[in-house]
């Protein structure tokens, strides 16, 4: 079975760990979000790709959910002593090595997809990890700061401001000119199942779908498309997805996120049992829906979510 997953960072990575357990024989291709990428200290940092790579490769800091385990922050302290920031973005010493290798390879002319493959040679995540594009795409958020309307980098909004001011718009800058990375459209076209993990629907899955050709390939794929809601009980389980959903005019509820993707993309949608009341509304939108526990409390609970998603895909395929 060939499975394609469009993934952001923490939500996507944790789900993938469960999926690998649920479908050990499957060939899994992950199309990762690169809209969160940022250049810091002259280095190219790809937070979502790295979260997937470290989580599946056994190098993640489990508690934080990002960055390396057993980490120290001495390089950052030294940079700060020179007055060089930003101080609000956490980059650990072990993590720095990844960004140095990546930046060095990019400077030597390798595309991000080849660099990601090379980094994965070390981590062996057990999936094929592809960036959504080799081109530069950066998510910017329009906010009002000190009475002035401005666009800031997504990381500045999310990490520095902790999404504390309303987002007026979310723009994946560069997406319109971007091309899907080699292998992305082929994997989607050849998939038996396409999954949207409980990743952020706007700044993770939404950004991937904004790369011209990807949304169309998913919509036209022969494979069933099944998603899992990142919104449980009308709030994000973790993070501030409600803030960016508001920016695109979508209420923070499991049903509204399903409608936002729409029946043109989604064949099936899983909501948490606390949102069982939303099932009828999702089905009225032409999307098969089931309510099951969606808390990724451990790998087994997550594997069970993945099994149900694959079952729902199977039902769609069989036209039951």
Binding residues: 50
Radius of gyration of the chain (CA): 19
The yes or no reply on residue 224 touching ligand GDP (CB under 6 A) is no
The yes or no reply on residue 37 touching Ca ion (CB under 5 A) is no
Q: Which of 170, 209, 232, 247 binds ligand GDP (CB under 6 A)?
A: 232
The yes or no reply on residue 50 touching Ca ion (CB under 5 A) is no
Q: Which of 20, 36, 196, 312 binds Ca ion (CB under 5 A)?
A: 36
Select from Ca ion, ligand GDP, none the partner in contact with residue 199, using the beta carbon and a kind-dependent cut-off of 5 to 8 Å. Answer: ligand GDP
The yes or no reply on residue 48 touching Ca ion (CB under 5 A) is yes
- List the x/- string, 19-58, binding to ligand GDP by CB under 6 A: -----------------------------x--x-------
Minimum distance from residue 237 beta carbon to Ca ion (Å):
14
Burial class (CB in 10 A: 0-12, 13-18, 19+), 154: buried
- Two tokens, residue 282: 């999702």
Minimum distance from residue 37 beta carbon to Ca ion (Å):
10
Minimum distance from residue 5 beta carbon to ligand GDP (Å):
10
d(CA 33, CA 36): 7
The yes or no reply on residue 214 touching ligand GDP (CB under 6 A) is no
Residue 187's closest CA among 6, 54, 47?
6
Q: Which of residues 107-146 bind ligand GDP (CB under 6 A)?
A: none
DSSP run (H or E) holding 4: strand 2-7
Select from Ca ion, ligand GDP, none the partner in contact with residue 232, using the beta carbon and a kind-dependent cut-off of 5 to 8 Å. Answer: ligand GDP
CA distances from 122 to 21, 125, 225 (A): 21, 9, 31
3-class secondary structure, 316: helix
Count Cα atoms within 13 angstroms, Cβ side, for 168. Answer: 9
Per the CB < 8 A criterion, the answer to whether 230 and 237 are in contact is yes
d(CA 238, CA 236): 5
Minimum distance from residue 236 beta carbon to ligand GDP (Å):
3
Q: Which of residues 160-189 bind ligand GDP (CB under 6 A)?
A: none
Residue 80 burial (CB count, 10 A): 13
- Chain residues binding Ca ion by CB under 5 A are 8-9, 36, 48
- Chain residues binding ligand GDP by CB under 6 A are 7-12, 48, 51, 198-200, 204, 229-230, 232, 236-239, 241, 294-296
């Amino acid at each position: 079975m060939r499975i394609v997953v469009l993934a952001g960072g923490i939500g996507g990575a944790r789900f993938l760990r469960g999926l690998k357990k649920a479908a050990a024989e499957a060939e899994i291709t992950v199309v990762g979000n690169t809209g969160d990428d940022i250049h810091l200290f002259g280095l190219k940092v790809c937070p979502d790709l790295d979260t997937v790579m470290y989580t599946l490769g056994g190098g993640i800091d489990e508690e934080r959910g990002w960055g390396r385990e057993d980490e120290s922050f001495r390089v950052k302290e030294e940079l700060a002593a020179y007055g060089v920031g930003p101080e609000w973005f956490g980059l650990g010493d072990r993590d720095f090595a990844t960004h140095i290798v990546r930046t060095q390879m990019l400077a030597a002319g390798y595309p991000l997809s080849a660099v990601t493959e090379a980094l994965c040679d070390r981590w062996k995540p057990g999936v094929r990890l592809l960036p959504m594009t080799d081109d530069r795409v950066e998510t910017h958020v329009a906010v009002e700061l000190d009475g002035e309307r401005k666009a800031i980098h997504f990381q500045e909004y999310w990490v520095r401001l902790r999404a504390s001011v309303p987002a007026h718009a979310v723009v994946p800058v560069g997406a319109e000119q971007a091309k899907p990375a080699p292998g992305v459209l082929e994997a989607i076209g050849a998939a038996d199942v396409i999954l949207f993990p409980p990743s952020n629907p706007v700044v993770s899955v939404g950004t991937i779908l904004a790369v011209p050709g990807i949304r169309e390939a998913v919509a036209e794929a022969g494979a069933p498309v099944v998603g899992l809601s990142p919104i449980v009980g009308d709030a994000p389980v973790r993070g501030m997805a409600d803030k960016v959903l508001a920016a695109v005019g979508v209420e923070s509820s499991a049903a509204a996120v399903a409608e936002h993707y729409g029946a043109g993309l989604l064949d099936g949608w899983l909501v948490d049992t606390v949102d069982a009341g939303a099932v009828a509304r999702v089905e009225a939108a032409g999307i098969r829906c089931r309510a099951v526990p969606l808390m990724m409390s451990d790998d087994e609970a997550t594997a069970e979510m993945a099994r149900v998603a694959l079952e729902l895909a199977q039902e769609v395929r069989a036209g039951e």
